[in-house]
A = this chain, B = another copy of it.
Amino acid sequence: MRLAISTGGGDAPGLNAVIRAAVLSAISRGWEVLGICRGYYGLLGEDEIIPLTRESVRGIAHLGGTILRTTNRGNPFEFPVQQPDGQYHLVDRSDEVLAAVRNLGIDALISIGGDGSLAIAQRFFEKGLRVVGVPKTIDNDVSGTITTFGFDTAVSTALEAIDKLHTTAESHDRVIVLEVMGRNAGFIALHSGVAGTADVILIPEIPYDLDRVCEKIMARDRMGRHFSIVVVAEGAYPRGGEESIIGASLPGQSRRVGGIAGRLAYDIEQRTGKESRSLVLGHLQRGGMPTGYDRLLAARFGGVAVEVVEQQKWGHMVALQSPHIVAIPMAEALATPRRVDPTHDIVRVARATGISFGD
């Protein structure tokens, strides 16, 4: 049995722990393991393929990043290829991948990745590849699994930032707006904001009204709390349409450098007269040592993925359905993305403890 492993999409703390557990579990079954470097680039002949041994995975469980490297680019079904005219065209190179798998004698592939990577894995599965998925999403936006590794670490990093900003906000009577990840799903903002007792939490699932945000801040001010912490998911937008916020961005500021937090701080200062500051956490949320929760979950995902390979449940992915790790069809998980349910107990408790969602 020759097993291959690849990691795709954005970095997430715990990738190495998945790889380590999968490699050791496979070796203990007498299998051979190959690592495909940088998503599908390795199989397209544009990056390396390396043997994965006990020695390869020694001492990596607590390290962030991935020893196989990763990328957000290089979808083999729509691969950007430069044409003679200098333009890039999208080309289907998926058959090259399948040929490489055959040539290398790879019996099965464990593909670790987010919704993009899993969708690619599903298409390969439909073309006959024997693939098992391991979901990875910082944003927690993959369905079918309670959570994935990396999310708890990202929430911890955001929470640590909230804790630090709290003391400064309070000492200086300031409003501080913290932007966290979450383009479509507000879980990081919600979980870190409730854990950190933020005053306002803005998420894509609950469009906000700037007036309500400012009302909350001024109500606190009148109660003698002259500071406020606003946690905003990068994808949050004001009631009335996502377009407006983008149109209203300061010139020259792309979303990448934190348009929404800076813009919100500016608007809040203008309306409330309170000194306001913003901070964009950005890549800090993707890096570093995974928490204990994520290290354990990642090890379980890696180990059970090998069991799923052994059971030949191709096209399935591992998923946490507490207290067990189970295997579900990837197609099922991909059917609907996970979003914050505005009636969920976390949102209810947040409101009851005084947190405003700006609605």
Interface residues of A (CB under 8 A from B): 10-11, 13, 15, 20-21, 24-25, 28-29, 38, 61-66, 69-72, 146, 152, 155-157, 159-161, 163-168, 170-173, 176, 191-192, 194-197, 250-253, 256-258, 262, 277-280, 282-284, 286-289, 291-293, 295-296, 299-300, 302-304, 306-307, 321-325, 344-346, 348-349, 352-354
Tell me the smallest distance from the CB of A112 to a CB of chain B, in Å. 12
Take A195-B296, A324-B345 as given contacts and tell me if A20 and B353 are in contact as well, using a CB distance cutoff of 8 Å: yes
> Residue of B at shortest CB range from A354?
B24
B292-A192 in contact (CB<8A): yes
- A156 vs B294: C-alpha distance when bound (angstroms): 11
Beyond A61-B197, A168-B11, A344-B323, whether A163 also contacts B288 by CB under 8 A is yes
**Interfacial chain B residues near A300, Cβ < 8 Å:** 194, 345-346, 349
Given A156-B292, A192-B292, A279-B284, is A171 in contact with B69 using a C-beta cutoff of 8 Å? yes
A337 to B71 CA separation, bound complex (whole angstroms): 46
Contact B165 A353 (CB under 8 A): no
Bound together, the chains give a CA A301 to CA B139 distance in angstroms of 23
Contacts of A38 in B (CB 8 A): 173
Residues of B within 8 A of A324 (CB): 344-345
Shortest A85–chain B CB gap in Å is 21
The oligomer's copy count stands at 4
Q: Tell which of B29, B293, B349 touches A303, judged by Cβ atoms closer than 8 Å.
A: B349
| Chain B residues near A295 (CB-CB < 8 A) | 159, 195-196
Q: How far is the CB of A346 from chain B (nearest CB, A)?
A: 6
Residues of B within 8 A of A258 (CB): 257
Are A152 and B292 closer than 8 Å at their CB atoms? yes
Q: Across the interface, which residues of B come within 8 angstroms of A62, CB to CB?
A: 163, 196-197
- Additional A-B contact list (16), CB under 8 Å, known A21-B349, A70-B172, A299-B353: A21-B353, A24-B352, A25-B353, A28-B353, A61-B196, A64-B164, A65-B168, A65-B170, A69-B171, A146-B323, A251-B252, A257-B258, A299-B349, A300-B345, A303-B353, A304-B349
Contact A296 B191, CB 8 Å, known A164-B157, A277-B282, A304-B345: yes
Contacts known (A168-B287, A277-B283); A349 close to B25, Cβ less than 8 A: yes
Query: A257 near B262 (CB under 8 angstroms)?
Result: yes
